[in-house]
């Protein structure tokens, strides 16, 4: 009951603050801004072994995804940000499929219609600028759980995101709720801080009456940057079992070199159904964990080289069905080549060693991907 009351109070407070800002600010914006992010495959070749059976596959040019950016300042204090997402055939259905367990390397390609279909929302939120440098956002937000996914840094660096970042058990978080932002200065330390009150359900839907609470902070000291996130809620329909998620990260820049690393994990209590006999089973905790390290060298104003090590131990891929899990180790050298303002060519070579922990399936492959990303 207290948690429900907290949500109601937060919604009432937002409504009151929004009404106050709209009443106080009558200056309209110049207009609605429209933009987009377009991702296209130029070359995609995979070669390796699936369950010790060798195969290879080539995927030609194809359209991968498009995100439309719609933003408008209703007043000097209130703005709207909409980001609908489109892909051919729907989620994950494109001709440049990533290798996956149980599928031969030569058969990962899926042919679909080239017509982009609406998949969902990256973001759909209203932001209100409050006194004393507070900012309140409500709607489908993209929580800053990690830099790589939440701040969309991997978009600038890789055509295909890593198993750590594009993973809602580790680096990624998508949800609906409230985001409260406030920048702080403590001595010589810059400390942007975010407080979230989220559904904590299946991305954009709430499946119980307990909100997920998350705090995220990004201290900066000179060339050093840090981030930390901690989230707590319940994940099941019956509102019985807690989930705790955490992440931390550090980055440093020196002349033409930079390095960034993040790690994340969590504990979904009693989430895995482990058979103890032919007729009975017990529930154990799911505890995924992963990290990455990225090293960059900017060799020209238009070019940067990258070396990326990515590890993900996803031990509840088969929720409540099998006690096993999956481990992914990937090393990725890459290049980012700027061809125009907002447009780049990304080249990456994945060296992957993926396996299920119960040894039922393995994947060892190399993949060369060349793609373009354009944002306008």
- Tell me the pLDDT tens digit for each residue of 209-219: 888 999 999 99
Instruction: Return d(Cα 42, Cα 58) in angstroms, integer.
Output: 11
Q: Tell me which of 61 and 350 has the higher pLDDT.
A: 350
pLDDT exceeds 70 at position 3: no
CA distances from 228 to 96, 102, 220 (A): 34, 36, 12
pLDDT exceeds 80 at position 92: no
Instruction: Return d(Cα 261, Cα 363) in angstroms, integer.
Output: 25
The whole-number pLDDT of residue 356 equals 86
The whole-number pLDDT of residue 322 equals 52
pLDDT exceeds 80 at position 78: yes
Q: Which residues pair with 353 in a beta bridge?
A: 329, 364
% of the chain with per-residue pLDDT over 90: 56
- pLDDT (mean) for 126-134: 93
Q: Tell me which of 244 and 190 has the higher pLDDT.
A: 244
pLDDT exceeds 50 at position 16: no
Instruction: Spell out the residues 6+ positions from residue 289 whose beta carbon is closer than 8 angstroms to its own.
Output: 170, 263, 264, 265, 313
The whole-number pLDDT of residue 29 equals 47
User: Is residue 225 exposed (0-12), middle (13-18) or buried (19+ Cβ within 10 Å)?
Assistant: middle
Q: Tell me which of 106 and 292 has the higher pLDDT.
A: 292
Instruction: Return d(Cα 290, Cα 357) in angstroms, integer.
Output: 15
pLDDT band at 279 (very low <50, low <70, confident <90, very high): low
Mean pLDDT, the chain, whole residue set: 84
The whole-number pLDDT of residue 202 equals 61
Instruction: Return d(Cα 104, Cα 352) in angstroms, integer.
Output: 15
- Model confidence over 283-305: pLDDT tens digits? 788 899 999 999 999 999 999 99
- pLDDT (mean) for 207-234: 92
pLDDT band at 15 (very low <50, low <70, confident <90, very high): very low
% of the chain with per-residue pLDDT over 70: 82
Instruction: Return d(Cα 96, Cα 159) in angstroms, integer.
Output: 11
CB count in 10 Å sphere of residue 224: 11
Nearest to residue 46, comparing CAs of 331, 368, 364? 368
369, 40 in Cβ contact below 8 A? no
- Model confidence over 155-187: pLDDT tens digits? 999 999 999 999 989 999 988 999 999 999 888
Contacts 24+ apart (CB under 8 A), 247-256: 247/145, 247/146, 247/171, 249/146, 249/147, 250/224, 250/225, 250/226, 251/147, 251/224, 251/225, 251/226, 252/223, 252/224, 252/225, 253/223, 254/223, 256/297, 256/298, 256/299
- pLDDT (mean) for 228-243: 91
pLDDT exceeds 80 at position 280: no
The whole-number pLDDT of residue 358 equals 77
pLDDT band at 373 (very low <50, low <70, confident <90, very high): very high
CB count in 10 Å sphere of residue 199: 21
């Amino acid at each position: 009951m207290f948690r429900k009351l907290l949500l109601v109070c937060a919604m009432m407070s937002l409504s009151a603050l929004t009404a106050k800002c709209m009443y106080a600010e009558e200056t309209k914006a110049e207009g609605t801004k429209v933009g987009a992010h377009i991702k296209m495959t130029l070359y995609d070749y995979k070669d390796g072994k699936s369950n010790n059976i060798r195969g290879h596959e080539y995927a030609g040019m194809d359209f991968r995804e498009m995100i439309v950016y719609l933003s408008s300042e209703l007043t000097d204090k209130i703005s709207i940000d909409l980001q609908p997402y489109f892909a051919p055939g729907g989620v994950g259905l494109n001709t440049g499929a990533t290798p996956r367990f149980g599928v031969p390397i030569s058969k990962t390609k899926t042919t679909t219609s080239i017509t982009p279909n609406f998949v969902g929302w990256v973001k759909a939120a209203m932001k209100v600028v409050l006194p004393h440098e507070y900012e309140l956002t409500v709607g489908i937000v993209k929580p800053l759980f990690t830099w790589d996914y939440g701040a969309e840094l991997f978009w600038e660096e890789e055509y295909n995101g890593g198993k750590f970042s594009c993973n809602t058990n580790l680096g990624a978080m998508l949800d609906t709720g409230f985001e409260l932002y406030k920048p702080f200065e403590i001595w010589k330390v810059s400390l942007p801080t975010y407080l979230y009150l989220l559904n904590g359900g299946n991305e954009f839907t709430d499946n119980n009456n307990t909100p997920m609470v998350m705090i995220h902070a990004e201290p900066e000291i000179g060339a050093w940057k840090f981030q930390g996130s901690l989230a707590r809620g319940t994940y099941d329909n019956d509102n019985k079992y807690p989930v705790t998620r955490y992440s931390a990260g550090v980055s440093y820049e020196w002349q033409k070199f930079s390095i960034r690393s993040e790690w994340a994990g969590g504990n979904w209590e009693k989430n895995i159904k482990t058979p103890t006999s032919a007729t009975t089973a017990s529930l154990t905790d799911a505890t995924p964990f992963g990290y990455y390290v990225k090293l960059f060298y900017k060799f020209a104003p238009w070019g940067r080289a990258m070396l990326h090590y990515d590890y993900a131990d996803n031990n509840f891929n088969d929720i409540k069905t099998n006690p096993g899990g999956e481990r992914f180790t990937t090393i990725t050298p890459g290049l980012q080549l700027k061809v125009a303002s907002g447009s780049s060519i990304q080249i990456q070579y994945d060296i992957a060693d993926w396996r299920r922990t119960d040894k039922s399936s393995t994947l060892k492959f190399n993949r060369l991907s060349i793609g373009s990303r354009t944002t306008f």
